[in-house]
Each structure stands twice: as C-alpha cells, then as structure tokens.
Amino acid sequence: MRELAVEVLSAVVYAVAAGLLTVVGTAAEYTSFQYVTTGGETMVAVWLAVFGGIMLYAGITVGRRKALASLASLAG
C-alpha cells in the first residue's frame, strides 16, 4: 500500500511540475507577443520569447518522459 502511495505521489508531482512549466512558458510567450505588438522593447520581447520556448519545452519533456511514464507504471 505504501509503495502505491509513493508512486501516485510521484506521478502527481511530475504532472503538476509539467503543468506549471507549461503555464509559465505560455505566459512568457504571451507577454513577449504583447511587447512586440504594442511597440515595447524588442530585446525584452526576444528574451521572453526564448525563455518561454525553453519553459514550454521543459514542461512538455517532463510531462512526456516523467509524468506519463509514472502513470503508465501505475496502470500496468
């Protein structure tokens, strides 16, 4: 029973981490778009776009490699 609880908790932690990374990446990309369209500083917009892309990639990678693997081990 304890082993199952640990596996479920790790799957939940990875899923939450993937979700947070994806949300932060999306927010950075949106803010970058706002800087570009309103005539804000271009360098800040580029920095936010790169940061957002890295966060989106990290969120997708954590979700695919860790969260889905944890959920698959629980299912089978």
How far is residue 33's CA from residue 72's CA, in Å, rounded to a whole number?
36
Please give the DSSP secondary-structure letter assigned to residue 41.
-
- N-to-C CA span, the chain: 16
Instruction: Report in angstroms the alpha-carbon separations of 49 from 52, 60, 73, 76.
Output: 5, 16, 35, 39
Domain ranges of the chain: 2-70
Query: pLDDT digits over 3-61, tens only?
Result: 888 888 988 999 999 999 999 999 999 999 999 999 889 999 999 999 999 999 999 99
Structure tokens at 54: 């890295």
Confidence of residue 72 (pLDDT cuts 50, 70, 90): confident
